[in-house]
Amino acid sequence: MNRPVSTGCFYFKEKSLILFFMNKEDQARLEELEDDLTPRQIRLCQEYMIDFNGQDAAIRAGYAENDAKVVASFTFAKPHVKAYLKELQSHTAKVLQISREKVLSTLSAMAFFDPANFYDENGNLKPIKELDKETAKALTSFEVSEDSENIEGSDLKLISSRTAKIRLCDRRAALDMISKILGYYAPIKIASTDPKGNAIKPASIYIMPPGTENLEIREGE
């Protein structure tokens, strides 16, 4: 079968092609799955690995822009396509050494960080190298700006002020992702019957983690 790209190729957001060298067992498994797909479907799956956007992936795979969203939804619903995508994602996670526990650990650091850990005993921001690893995970950007004045008769400059700024991660978004991974938003269906023994429509109960009573639950999630 002619494949659009060689086995083991993955695309990412930067659109650079990265080759992950599979062992023979993984390669055989992927090729076996590819035998059930068309070249266009393989290309669509590999394009999907760039940004996990089905519509954009379909357009990059050569489908008409007006049909891309429908094509992606229809294609990704096919069992053999799902299996192929799962294998791609599994291999990526293996190579990058990503696990569910590692993801949850990072999200936990982002959700439960203590802002006080960014400051020293004098109330000044600590240099990045002085932050402990768990605290640093909550940091998304660090910026230092300086104002200086020229020293008359010299090429030297005198720094008159220095400003440090940090941007922290979205704590609520991290909590939301943790809750989804742990299944806190999944409804529990309780089947019951009326006094005559006739089945009635099951009730759906959402169990919320402590402290998130006001989080919005969107239908379908």
According to the model, what pLDDT value does residue 66 have? 92
- Contact (CB, 8 A) for 119 and 126: yes
**pTM as predicted:** 0.50
pLDDT for position 68: 92
* Amino acid 49: pLDDT: 82
* Gap between the Cα atoms of 109 and 134, Å rounded: 6
In this prediction, residue 213 carries a pLDDT of 55
* Alpha-carbon span 8 to 42, nearest angstrom: 12
pLDDT value of position 188: 61
pLDDT at residue 80, as a whole number: 92
pLDDT by 10s per residue, the chain, length 221: 444 443 344 444 333 333 345 667 777 787 888 888 998 998 898 888 887 889 999 999 999 999 999 999 999 999 999 999 888 888 777 776 778 888 889 999 999 999 999 999 988 888 888 999 999 999 888 887 877 777 777 777 776 677 888 889 999 999 998 988 888 877 666 556 666 777 766 555 555 666 555 555 454 44
Q: Domains of the chain (ranges plus CATH)?
A: 9-97 (1.10.10.1400), 108-172 (no CATH)
Q: DSSP for the chain, please give it.
A: ---SS-TTEEE-TT--EEE----HHHHHHHHHHHTTS-HHHHHHHHHHHHHS-HHHHHHHTT--TTTHHHHHHHHHTSHHHHHHHHHHHHHHHHHTT--HHHHHHHHHHHHS--GGGGB-TTSPBPPGGGS-HHHHTTEEEEEEEEEEEEPTTSS-EEEEEEEEEEEE--HHHHHHHHHHHHTTTSPEEEEEE-TTS-EEEEEEEPPPPTT-TT----TT-
